[in-house]
Amino acid sequence: MAKDDNNIHTDHRKRMRQRIEKNGLDSLQDHEVLEYLLYSFIPRKDTNPIAHKLMETAGSFENVFNSSVEMLMNIPNMTYGASLFISIMPQLFKRYNLQRLGEKPIINTSDDAINFFKHILADEMEEHFYLAIVAPDGRVVDNCKISSGNSNQCKLDIKKFVLKTASSQAKDFFIAHNHPSGNPTPSLTDFEFTKWLVSLSESLELNLVDHIIVTKDKCFSFRKSDVLMTYAKDYRNFCKSTPIPDKYK
């Protein structure tokens, strides 16, 4: 790069930083935000055309951050450091949003649970199951991912679920999974799974407070739909009407 070009390049970055300091990121277009983020990782090249190519290839600002390192590395003049940084940004946002809920989040209602799980699941591109165990006062005493996969393969890790719930003194828990498709409507499999989980929970003397399906814009609550209470009632009636025989009598 020629000396004059380098001066122009340096001055442009200086003006960009001054603009952000004065007016914030809202004063920038999407490609300009990407251009700025790349400064630290690509110090000797004009990052404006790289930013435009990222937007063009990914299709949107959001999709850039949902891209893999491999895809980002295919963009001319992108570096590994820049690609890795951009690809982990959603994980950074998730950690930030979770910590905003506090060290000991409170879940007293299904709406609280929806808010909690949206911070975790709303932007995920694969399907995941998450578990949150809550104390009687609503404090989340444990939460974790218990399964991952695609929409056809994501199933609850039964062993992990039992170990997690058994190791806690709390009996109430919420479970949630996401639909990357954006449609929160439960599938037939979701209904059958929830009915089975209610039965398992009742047999373990646990209380499934709600099963929530999360998408980016909407959520579905089995509790709010009254399905959960119906399943629990049906299971209890079944147990009363069908006593388990004692084979040792």
User: Residues 143-161: pLDDT tens digits?
Assistant: 888 888 765 555 777 888 8
Instruction: Provide the residue ranges of all domains of the chain, joining segments of one domain with +.
Output: 3-87, 94-241
- Give pLDDT, residue 99: 78
- The CATH number of the structural domain formed by 94-241 is 3.40.140.10
Is the pTM higher than 0.85? The answer reads no
| Residues of the chain with confidence (pLDDT) below 70 | 1-9, 102, 150-154, 242-249
pLDDT single digits (tens) 69-121: 999 999 999 999 999 999 999 888 888 877 777 677 899 999 999 999 998 88
**With the CA atoms of 170, 193, 226 and 202 taken in that order, what torsion angle do they form, in degrees rounded to the nearest 10?**
-40
Task: Look up the CATH number of domain 3-87.
Answer: 1.10.150
* pLDDT for 31: 94
pLDDT of residue 41: 93
